[in-house]
Structure 1
Amino acid sequence: MSAKVMVYETQFFGFTPQTCMMRMYLAFQDHLFHMMLVIEEVMLKKLQSMRCSKLTSSSIRRSSEKFLAYMRKHFDQLFGKMEQLLLKVVLTIPDNVLLPENKCQDQYRYTASEFQKLQEEICHLEHRVKVETSAQQALKTELEEQKATQEQLEKILQWFDSLDNICREHGTSNLKESFAFLKGNSEKLQTVMQEAEDKSKKLHKK
């Protein structure tokens, strides 16, 4: 059996030529063995019909085994020649023949250095794609943060609007004036608290 790797033929036929030859060999061997069994069975039946015969069933079995070994030896020799013929002529694709799906290789030929350049260009493009993807992801994250910030600002503006409405309801027309008033009252309250604290300290000292 040939050990040559026939990749192109396997691509075309859908099976390895060596596998095809092996199956043919096994099929012939099985058929030969089956044929010898049939012949042996016929000879045994003939032996039963012969009254005076020096032949026995064991001698017929030995003779059929010898004949089978002889046939297998010569069959192997013939099959070897047939295998060479089939693998070299029938189940092989000439070097000058291209399969239809591989014709683009003939149209677009390139050297090893050109192939290396293509590989480098592909790596460069893959790197650029990764960078662009990362940038898009960062931009998407930033937009989501801006959206969340915008929502917070809208809530604050709504709060200021509601606060302004409350101030107007209580007689203060300007929100800025209301904050100034609250700030002044807060400072006065802090002053009163500080004075009360100072008096409390003086009383404790007495």
Structure 2
Amino acid sequence: MSVTPMCYEAQFFEFTPQTCILRLYITFQDYLFEMLLVVERVIMKKLESIPGHRISKFQIRESTEKYLHYVNERFNHLFQKMEKCLLKLVLRIPRNIVLPEDKVQVQYSYSAEKFQLLQSETETLQKQYKAEKMATQSLLAELEEQKVVQAELEKVLAWFDGLDKICREHGNIDLKESFAFMTQASLKIQGKIKEIDLKNKKIKGNESFIPINFQTRKKL
């Protein structure tokens, strides 16, 4: 049997041609052996119906094995021819035939240098993709933070709207003027507090330097 590797044929048939031929050979051998066993049983039955025969079962089995050996030699010789025919004409893909999944390689053939260039470009694109993915994730995180800040700002604006409504209900029409007045009043209060603190410090300092008069007893 041929041992030449037929990888392209195995890719197309999904089995190796040698395996197919081996299975055919084993199948024919099994069928031939079973057929001779049937013939042997038929011969024995025929001899049992003939009275006075001198042929033993051992002789029949010996003759069957000789016939099997003879037929097997002829079969092997014929099977070798059939194997060559199958491998050359039936189970072989011609060199000029390209499988559909390999047509792309024929149309776009690349050398080793081009393959390395494409591989380096692919790695560069993968790095760019990872960088863009990380940038997108950071932008999405920042967007979520902005949404949180926007929600807080909306709460502050809602609070200001409520405060403005309260001011209008109590006769103060302009909320900005109210805040300006409150700021000026706060500054004035802070100034007064500073003046009081300075005066308090001065008073404490003067008290610490007041001279003490000691009265002397007059002698009688």
How much has 1:71 moved relative to structure 2? 3.4
Q: Does 1:82 align with 2:82?
A: yes
Partner of 1:117: 117
More helix per residue: 1 or 2? Answer: 1
After the TM superposition, which of the residue ranges 24-33 and 53-62 deviates more from structure 2? 53-62
Deviation at 1:73, TM superposition (A): 4.7
Partner of 2:40: 40
SS in 1 for 2:109: coil
Q: Is 1:28 matched with 2:31?
A: no
In structure 2, relative to structure 1, the CA distance for the partners of 1:171 and 1:75 (3 Å cut) is: same
Aligned to 1:136: 136
Aligned-pair identity in percent equals 49
Q: Which residue of 2 aligns with 1:49?
A: 49
Aligned residue number for residue 145 of structure 2:
145
Other-structure match for 1:5: 5
For 2:137, give the aligned amino acid.
Answer: Q
Separation in structure 2 between the aligned mates of residue 182 and residue 22 of structure 1, nearest angstrom: 108
Q: What corresponds to 2:179 in structure 1? A: 176
5+ residue gaps, structure 2 = 195-220
Q: After superposing the two structures, state which structure 1 stretch, 70-79 or 101-110, moved more.
A: 70-79
Specify every segment of 5 or more residues in structure 1 that has no aligned partner in the other structure, as ranges.
Answer: 192-206
Deviates more, 1:163-172 or 1:13-22: 163-172
TM-score (norm 2): 0.71
- What is the CA deviation profile of residues 71-124 of structure 1, one whole-angstrom value per residue up to 9, with x for unaligned ones? 335534543443244223431123333234433333322211112212222222
Structure 1 residue 28 displacement after superposition: 0.8
The count of residues paired between Structure 1 and Structure 2 equals 191
Distance 1:47 1:180, change over 3 A: same
Give the match's secondary structure for 1:54. Answer: coil
Specify the structure having the higher radius of gyration (Cα).
Answer: 2
Alpha carbons of structure 1 residues 167 and 177: separation in structure 2 relative to 1, 3 Å: farther
Mean Cα deviation higher: 85-94 or 121-130: 85-94
**Maintained 8 Å contact 1:172/1:178:** no
Question: What is the SS of the residue equivalent to 1:146?
Answer: helix
SS at match of 1:154: helix
How far apart in 1 are the matches of 2:80 and 2:15?
A: 20
Code of the residue aligned with 1:16 in structure 2: it is T
Amino acid of the structure 2 residue aligned with 1:121? E
Q: Which amino acid aligns with 2:122?
A: I
